[in-house]
Structure 1
Amino acid sequence: MLPRNVKIIDQVRAEALRRGIPAADVEHWLGLARPSALLKQQGDGPIVGAIRGPVMLPADAEDPQFPLIAAIDCAALPADVTDLPLPADGHLLLFGWPEEDGYGQVMYVPAGVVVEEREQHPPGFSPDDEECAEVYAEIPQGDLHLTVDISLPYVKTIPGPPWSPPLPGDPPFEKMAEVWQEVLGDVPDGPFSYEGHTTPLLLGGYGTDCNGFNPAWLGANRSGHSGKDGPPDHGDWVLLAEFHGGRQGGATIYWVIQRADLRERRFDQASVLVYWNP
């Protein structure tokens, strides 16, 4: 683990112990830490992708339904930067729209495939439209620099229907999530330290709060209904990527997918959520 991430874990541990959380519970929760990639338009890390670059697709690929948010060069990512079975090369294209009724999709272009440039603005998303132009202005184009990050469960358990997903473990884990949120907010190069035009993107990890729930769980259970014998079987859904789009009040796009579909490159099976908090 990099010194930066060791320092973050140490800060979480120290604050949790200061609050009287039992040491055994603290260490159990810290054992849930997962590697993740934080991509920002500022920083001195290697360039691994770009925000709103040209849309390059094979000739036989369908036109995307939504604007391109980010293109990730998989070959530029270190192999262990996440614990996801990401492609070793090629480009991962993340499409979406950071609005209340937004949606999105994922496309993958293998290395060596001949591509052609497509229209950057799909029908209905013209920059000549005043509202669309405002969104584009808040998502500036630019390279994405990598920070090797670390992730812990971010959301708290919320009382509600039987299908409400708890955090792993017992009640102390809710308190640990509160500690994590506070520490993460003070990390100088973390996902919430951005100012101006840095448009952070997360790959892997647990992701951040999606209206109080784990985004991967919500992606697996879009209807929110419990199964016949209790909570539904949500499979092995994971957060593929998360984008904080700079919209006034906050708008976040989550791309989630089952690990098996990711391994088999079935990106059409991904689910996309947009959490808009005006």
Structure 2
Amino acid sequence: MVHVPVGTHVSQRDKHAWNAHEYEEWDREFGTLFEGYPEGELRARAEVSLPCHTSVFPAGQQLMVDIPGHPLCDDLVEAWQETRGGIVRGGEMQVGGFADEEDVDVDPVDVAVRTAVYAAERGDWQWPVSDDPADWVLLADWYASGLRRREGSTLHWVIQREDLIARRFERTFTTFAWNP
């Protein structure tokens, strides 16, 4: 997904730059998988999006905690998981809303923020990064069901709210999760 405003100067960049992992073999393997994934038509529709997580990483902390102020969060997530199949027609790509990921308790946006902070500390991310998940928003997530031997794979595109407002989409940060 790319948005290029009229009159914007563009240049080619490393299409694998989103990956903050240090493992070259891992990079090559997933690069090959992504290159071989079939492209298809993308159609939009409005659907319900509710949180499917029960924990957060507070800004600057290493350990996750239950979502503050939501003592019934587990019950709400369980109820949503049981009923959403009859309400939402699942798809592979979701734009906006709440991030979803198979078998995780923490908000995938929180994980992306922690990964962006780590990438910035390593020098792999050149722009300012807030460590507060409240400063970030989900642009899209993609449940890559068609990746052979990578079932349960999800990509999340997140962006800081101020960058979204300013349409600085080059500052979109991407994470990849795989639950074998």
TM-score, length of structure 2 as denominator length: 0.65
- The 3 A distance-change label for structure 1 pair 96 and 186 is farther
- Give 1:249 deviation, angstroms: 2.4
Q: What is the distance in 2 between the residues matched to 1:135 and 1:270?
A: 18
Q: 1:275 aligned to 2:174?
A: no
Corresponding residue for residue 16 of structure 1: none
Letter of the 1:147 counterpart: R
Match of 2:161 among 240, 249, 259: 259
Q: 2:14 aligns with which of 38, 44, 65?
A: 65
Q: Provide structure 1 residue ranges, at least 5 long, that are not aligned to the other structure.
A: 1-48, 51-57, 68-94, 103-123, 192-199, 225-231
> Unpaired segments of 5 or more residues in structure 2?
119-130
Find runs of 4+ consecutive structure 1 residues off by over 6 angstroms. Answer: none
Look up the SS of the partner of 1:268 in the other structure.
helix
User: C-alpha displacement at 1:263, in angstroms?
Assistant: 0.5
Residue pair 1:239, 1:254 contacting (<8 A) in 2 also? yes
CA 1:189–1:237: 2 relative to 1, 3 Å:
same
- 1:255 touches 1:272 (CA, 8 Å); kept in 2? yes
Matched, 1:189 2:89: yes
Distance 1:59 1:171, change over 3 A: closer
- Distance (whole Å) between structure 1 residues aligned to residue 8 and residue 134 of structure 2: 34
1:145 equivalenced with 2:43 (yes/no): yes
Instruction: Please say if residues 101 and 274 of structure 1, whose CA atoms lie closer than 8 Å, have aligned partners that are also in contact.
Output: no
Whole-angstrom distance in 1 between the partners of 2:8 and 2:163: 24
Mapped partners of 1:174, 1:60: distance in 2: 47
Contact kept, 8 Å, 2:48 with 2:88, in 1: the verdict is no
Query: Computing the radius of gyration over CA atoms, which structure comes out larger, 1 or 2?
Result: 1
Deviation at 1:178, TM superposition (A): 1.4
| 1:204/1:240 contact within 8 Å kept | yes
- The structure with the greater share of residues assigned to helix is 2
* Structure with greater strand percent: 1
| Aligned-residue CA RMSD (Å) | 3.8
What secondary structure does 1:62 align onto? Answer: coil
State the TM-score, normalizing by the size of structure 1.
Answer: 0.45
In 1, Cα distance between equivalents of 2:8 and 2:98: 35
Q: What's 1:169 paired with?
A: 69
Shift of 1:60: 4.7
Q: C-alpha offsets along residues 192-216 of structure 1, whole Å, 9 cap, x if unaligned?
A: xxxxxxxx11111111037432122
Contact 1:151 1:206 in 2 (8 A): yes
Higher relative contact order (CA 8 A, sep 6+): 1
Q: Structure 1's 259 and 183: CA in aligned 2 closer, same or farther, altered over 3 A?
A: same
Partner of 1:180: 80
Hey, what does 2:52 align to over in structure 1? 154
Separation of aligned partners in 2, 1:163 and 1:209: 19
- What do residues 72-101 of structure 1 show as CA deviations (whole Å, max 9, x unaligned)? xxxxxxxxxxxxxxxxxxxxxxx978xx95
AA paired with 1:215? P
The C-alpha deviation readout for 1:137-195, integer Å capped at 9, x for no partner, is 4x322211111012111112389x7641533533212210111122224446223xxxx
Write out aligned runs for 1:103-252 (5 A). Answer: 132=32, 134-137=33-36, 139-157=37-55, 163-167=63-67, 169-187=69-87, 189-191=89-91, 200-209=92-101, 211-222=104-115, 233-246=132-145, 247=147, 248-252=150-154
Report the CA distance between 1:271 and its aligned residue.
1.9
2-structure distance, mates of 1:209, 1:258: 20
Aligned length in residues: 152
